[in-house]
Structure 1
């Protein structure tokens, strides 16, 4: 195995697979989708048999929201189990945080008949770890902001049904008062209904990257830096 200083040689194929995993970790703000999509890609990158992933629940002080790929949840005896009867030996974990600051983790098991992963697998996991950590933290931050935005909408609109909270505001009003384009106005209306990014992109038939561009432009034109502030600005002015 060829080493290059503190780095390790990766084939063109492995570099491409690694890039796909990293891109998948930044392609959504839903922690379940993040872990499911990247989990399937980890199987190919690490030549693994199965993957399980959990998120730390700070209130319950335990791991939950499990994602299982090629793995029956009923066979999970504990987070460090071994399944030698099925030909699955000790797995390796991609942990984030420490004992006092858990965030979440992936656990990956080698293919049947292979007792352990090699040094290159551990090296790849180290490269992925900061991206996984940032992805989960961004998701949790977004969830907090999303709930705050919903509360702002209900407080300002006086409605408890978010689907109808924006019906008194039109695309034309947003375009006129904030100099938004049609697509930016449509995006704002979706935000006013409390929709998440994935649903907004789906409803408007646009790519996630395009949605992010719309959001940057909307924030710039309305002179705000968060969704909650945007919603407050819209309802306060219109």
Structure 2
């Protein structure tokens, strides 16, 4: 893959941002500015999927109208024909890959939401850690521009691992801060491969109490199995 000098400098800025340890919301906003430069695009938005409520939330955006985004939060996201399809792809995907532009332009979502801010050609990247949605990147160009192509997708594919890692680190830090001392001790014991009975003996707990802590850890970390909790706990300091 050939990168121009401009793209090399823009990518360096992107990777520097992702390594700096920003909180997720400021990170997504700063990253949006860098990605508009990298992809020579015009508009940016980013949300986090709340699977329990079935909504996108915590939006940040650039070069879009706040009132239009409020309408997205309240109504348009529930009548959005493309974003859940883009999310299901789990990699950089052009909007035209999930819905032809001729069909999209006939929808109220396009005419009453996208077009109001001049959004025409789009590409998305949705970041996941396992089955947990961490955040997305929605990048658009105006109608008078050319659409995104395979090179643009490849650039976002280069960014994806570092984007996922940055959001996953912050998620782990936030979750770790919410653990009780006992939950933390159980998580660290799982990381060492101990059984429930071994954890109970080491921490002077009943086995039933250990299993209660495991349920709480599943709820807080999003891990479905004890192996997932152990993997998550690999980020914890002893």
TM-score by length of 1: 0.54
Match of 2:119 among 74, 85, 88: 88
In structure 2, the residue matched to 1:116 is 147
Please say if residues 63 and 104 of structure 1, whose CA atoms lie closer than 8 Å, have aligned partners that are also in contact. Answer: no
Q: 2 CA distance for matches of 1:109 and 1:99?
A: 27
How far has the Cα of 1:119 moved from its partner?
2.1
Instruction: Give the aligned partner of residue 14 of structure 2.
Output: 21
The runs of 5 or more residues in structure 2 that have no matched partner are 83-108, 182-235
Structure 1 CA distance, aligned partners of 2:172 and 2:22? Answer: 9
CA deviation after TM superposition for structure 1 residue 143, in Å: 0.6
Any conservation in 2 of the 1:88–1:113 contact (CA below 8 Å)?
Answer: no
Match of 2:133, SS? Answer: coil
Matched, 1:51 2:8: no
Over the aligned positions, Cα root-mean-square deviation in angstroms equals: 2.5
Partner of 1:164: none
Partner of 1:139: 170
Distance 1:107 1:71, change over 3 A: same
Matched, 1:32 2:38: no
CA displacement at 1:68 relative to structure 2: 1.0
Is contact 1:53-1:67 (8 Å) kept? yes
Matched-pair contact (CA < 8 Å) for 1:35–1:67 = yes
Deviation at residue 17 of structure 1 after TM alignment: 0.3
SS in 2 for 1:102: strand
CA deviation profile, 1:106-148 (whole Å, cap 9, x unmatched)? 1000145125212221111111111111111111111112233
Mapped to 2, the partners of 1:36 and 1:86 lie a distance apart of 18
Identify if the C-alpha distance between structure 1 residues 31 and 12 changes in structure 2 by more than 3 Å, giving closer, same or farther.
same
SS in 2 for 1:113: coil
Q: Distance in 2 between matches of 1:86 and 1:66?
A: 16
Distance in structure 2 (CA, Å) of the matches to 1:137 and 1:98 = 7
* C-alpha contact 1:92 1:107 (8 A) present in aligned 2: yes
Calculate the TM-score normalised by the size of structure 2. 0.54
**What are structure 1's unaligned runs of at least 5 residues?**
1-7, 153-224, 230-238
- Does residue 67 of the first structure (1) align with residue 60 of the second (2)? yes
What secondary structure does 1:17 align onto? helix
Q: Equivalent residue for 2:160?
A: 129
Partner of 2:137: 106
Describe the SS at the equivalent of 1:141: helix
Q: Specify the SS of the correspondent of 2:44.
A: strand
How much does 1:85 deviate? 5.5
| Count of residue pairs brought into register by the alignment | 146
